[in-house]
Amino acid sequence: MEHGFYIRPKNEQRRIQFLIGFSALIAVGLALVISVKTGFYLLVILFFSITLSIIAPFFDTPALKKSGNLIYYSPLFLSEKPKKGVIKIHGGTLFDYVFVIDRRMSGKQRTNLIVQQYLEGLLNLIEENENGKPENVRIRGTSYIINARTAQRIGFRIVPTDYIQKVILTYNYFNLLISYSIAKGKLSFPKLRETKTFETNLNELVRRKGVISSLNKKLKSAIAKSAKA
């Protein structure tokens, strides 16, 4: 599976980013005009913050990938560079959802695809690192798509979501709202209190590799069958 943004020529990638940035600038400018005319300046402050949180992944994600600070293990599964023995993993960003998920898919198909890409990414992460010293490496991620039962089945345990992560999630609520709606194929409101942080170690993932691979194959088969239906 290919990423719809990175397969495009560089000049087209830059054009897309320019259009996104320019459109956001116009929108913020209109909010500023309304604020000046009404004297309600909080409007432009809120609108600017929300707009920035929405468009940021379209610039940050490609830039961090280019610098090597973000690594794609599948089009909808990324990890940060290891820090102090911890690898932070992420499901696809809003940027990735826009360029990877087929709009013709139903909500169920989209959710299956996201989970399947998560599993495929984990497999690629395991294969890249399993010959090193996996017992010393912890894996941590936060998700509102992967449920607790699936996470535990593939070797993760639920841990408390730290305060900083909660603040980040709250700030990015409108970003998450759009991402979640794309994932479900309809307007859907994410419940931040149901977002969970999962953790494991690489050694445990290596032991669960067969389970992860089996689940990945089943989801791939289900996606292929539903596409033909």
| CB-based contact 183:114 (threshold 8 Å) | yes
Q: In what order do the strands lie in the sheet with 86-91?
A: 70-74, 77-80, 86-91, 138-143, 196-201, 157-159
- Is pLDDT of 228 > 80? no
Residue 20 identity: I
Cβ neighbors of 68 (< 8 A, separation 6 or more) are 81
Mean pLDDT of the chain: 91
pLDDT above 90 for 25: yes
Question: Closest Cα to residue 115, out of 72, 148, 146?
Answer: 146
Domain ranges in the chain are: 69-228
Cα of first residue to Cα of last residue in the chain, in angstroms, is: 20
Quote the pTM value: 0.92
For residue 148, pLDDT over 90 is answered with no
pLDDT at position 134 over 60: no
Give the per-residue pLDDT at 208. 93
* Tokens coding 148: 């607790």
pLDDT at 226: 82
Q: Return the structure tokens found at 5.
A: 């943004």
pLDDT over 70 (residue 140): yes
Mean pLDDT of 223-227: 83
User: Average pLDDT for residues 75-84, to the nearest whole number?
Assistant: 92
Asked whether residue 165 carries a pLDDT value surpassing 60, the answer given is yes
| pLDDT: which is higher, 1 or 15 | 15
CA distances from 28 to 2, 14, 179 (A): 33, 21, 21
Which run of H or E residues covers position 101? none
Inform me whether the pLDDT recorded for 114 exceeds 70.
yes
